[in-house]
Amino acid sequence: QVQLVESGGGLVQAGGSLRLSCAASGRTFSGYTAGWFRQSLGKEREFVADIIRYGDTTHYAGSVKGRFAISRDNAKTTVYLQMNSLNPEDTAVYYCAARSSIYYTTSPGTYDYWGQGTQVTVSS
């Protein structure tokens, strides 16, 4: 079992930055692929980024590529999402998730563990 807790959300002006953190307890992230998803009001949960277990291969949604960066610490207990050049379309609840598989997928259904989410609001 892995428990995930996100933090770092908040209100920021367009063009600003935020860094989200996802702390794992129970087990480290080293045995899991970690992903970030987001869900805005009335929309389905969408893939943002992932970092594959054991290695450092990352993938990004086209809408955030070049602006967001996913990483994890050396102890592999925390995964981060650095978000730069934020715009109002990035406003959503951001969720951290973990899965044991290593193939590329953007489907939320492939993830086994989820955090409770953290709100990010970008004002224009």
Q: Is 8's pLDDT higher than 70? A: yes
Can you give the pLDDT at residue 30? 76
Percent of the chain with pLDDT over 90: 78
Here the tokens at position 15 are 């063009």
Of residues 16 and 31, the one with the higher pLDDT is: 16
Average pLDDT over residues 84-94: 98
Render pLDDT for 37-85 as a digit per residue (tens, 0 to 9): 999 999 999 999 999 987 789 999 999 999 999 999 867 789 999 999 9
**Which contacts (CB < 8 Å, 24+ apart) does range 15-18 have?**
15/85, 15/86, 15/87, 16/86, 16/122, 17/82, 17/83, 17/84, 17/85, 17/86, 18/83, 18/86, 18/120
